[in-house]
């Protein structure tokens, strides 16, 4: 049984990664042709920042303060947003001219790891497996887990934003955070939740904040569901306190990235937020964004059906 599980773990990692490699090869993306995976902000920002970080990896003072920022400035917020993921260590083995190849490898690795962690969640989650039809053979269920982990990995969200690699370095840990959350609620096991949430926040605090908002929504849903199921209020309150405490802990550890970055952002000019009900996007044009690859108007929102789900 363990050998079979290992096989599915490997497949969940390899299938989405190989699908991307084949897609890049057909599109003649380097090293399969003269096109490049370095597009958008990756071309304008990420490549230069990664190259600077790679060249100064052993000069810690230059990663904290850089003379390359205008007349000189605090580099730490840049470091925490773009470069904290351990996957960036692979770039140390690439010369500057091969950074586009590193980015292609990074995009493919992200897909593989997200597929793997999603498969682990689908396999280990008691909540998900409670609704699995026991009349279906285990082999079919395992294949379905592979299919759904691949679908989640290669969703339109990933395809459209895959060049924003630091986001997906963090999203790798998201299924593990969910699994750890479930273990904390169901059996008071805290290790997976705390460690995976810490790693997610440190990998990219931007995605980390979004996940924290998501966890708040899930917690409210869990409380309402528990009350509907007539569970004891005292038990719900106790579990809620556990959740709060063991979420504050990762936030506290992650504050080594969150707090300096927040303070650094205060030094940047920020437009005041203004709420308005004015129509910005015509409905007809917005619906066109549901089609993958529709880039006729870069200002239009990117839509994908999973938003409604």
Question: Of 294 and 91, which is predicted with more confidence?
Answer: 91
User: For residues 75 and 63, is the Cβ–Cβ distance under 8 A?
Assistant: yes
pLDDT for 199: 93
Domain ranges of the chain: 2-273
29 by DSSP, 3-state: which?
strand
Record the tokens describing residue 29, joined without a space: 């993306």
* Average pLDDT over all residues of the chain: 84
pLDDT of residue 110 exceeding 90:
yes
- Give how far the C-alpha of residue 226 lies from the chain's centroid of Cα atoms, to the nearest Å: 29
Per-residue confidence (pLDDT) for residue 211, from 0 to 100: 94
- Note the pLDDT tens digit of each residue in 206-261: 899 999 999 999 999 888 888 887 777 777 888 888 888 989 988 888 888 888 77
For the whole model, what pTM was predicted?
Answer: 0.86
* pLDDT tens column, 126-164: 988 888 877 788 888 889 999 999 999 998 788 878 888
Question: What band does 305 get if pLDDT is binned at 50, 70 and 90?
Answer: low
Is residue 306's pLDDT more than 80? no
Asked if the model's pLDDT at residue 19 lies above 90, the reply is yes
Please report the pLDDT score of residue 197 as a whole number. Answer: 94
Three-point CA angle 43, 44, 49, nearest 5°: 90
**pLDDT-based confidence at residue 175 (cuts at 50, 70, 90):** very high
Contacts of residue 182, defined as CB under 8 A and 6 or more positions apart, other chains included, come to 125, 126, 127
pLDDT band at 79 (very low <50, low <70, confident <90, very high): confident
């Amino acid at each position: 049984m363990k050998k079979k599980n290992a096989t599915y773990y490997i497949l969940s990692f390899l299938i989405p990664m190989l699908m991307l490699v084949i897609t890049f090869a057909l599109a003649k993306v380097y090293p399969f042709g003269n096109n490049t995976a370095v597009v958008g902000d990756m071309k304008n920002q990420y490549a230069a920042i990664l190259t600077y970080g790679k060249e100064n990896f052993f000069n810690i003072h230059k990663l904290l303060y850089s003379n390359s920022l205008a007349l000189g400035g605090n580099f730490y917020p840049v470091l925490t947003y773009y470069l904290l993921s351990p996957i960036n260590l692979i770039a140390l083995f690439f010369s500057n001219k091969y950074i586009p190849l590193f980015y292609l490898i990074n995009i493919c690795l992200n897909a593989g790891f997200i597929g793997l962690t999603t498969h682990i969640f689908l396999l280990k989650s008691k909540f998900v497996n409670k609704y699995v039809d026991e009349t279906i053979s285990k082999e079919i269920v395992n294949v379905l887990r592979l299919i759904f982990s691949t679908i989640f990995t290669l969703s339109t969200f990933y395809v459209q934003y895959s060049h924003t690699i630091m986001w997906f370095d963090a999203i790798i840990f998201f299924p593990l955070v969910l699994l750890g959350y479930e273990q904390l609620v169901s059996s008071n096991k805290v290790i997976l939740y705390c460690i995976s949430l810490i790693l997610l926040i440190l990998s990219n605090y931007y995605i980390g904040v979004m996940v924290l908002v998501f966890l708040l929504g899930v917690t409210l849903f869990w409380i309402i569901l528990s009350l509907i199921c007539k569970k004891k209020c005292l038990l719900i309150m106790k579990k809620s306190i556990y959740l709060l405490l063991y979420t504050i802990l990762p936030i506290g550890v992650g504050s080594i990235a969150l707090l300096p970055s927040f303070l650094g952002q205060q030094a940047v000019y920020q437009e005041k937020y203004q709420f308005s009900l004015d129509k910005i996007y015509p409905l007809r044009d917005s619906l066109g964004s549901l089609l993958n690859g529709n880039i006729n108007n870069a200002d239009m929102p990117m839509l994908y059906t999973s938003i409604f789900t």
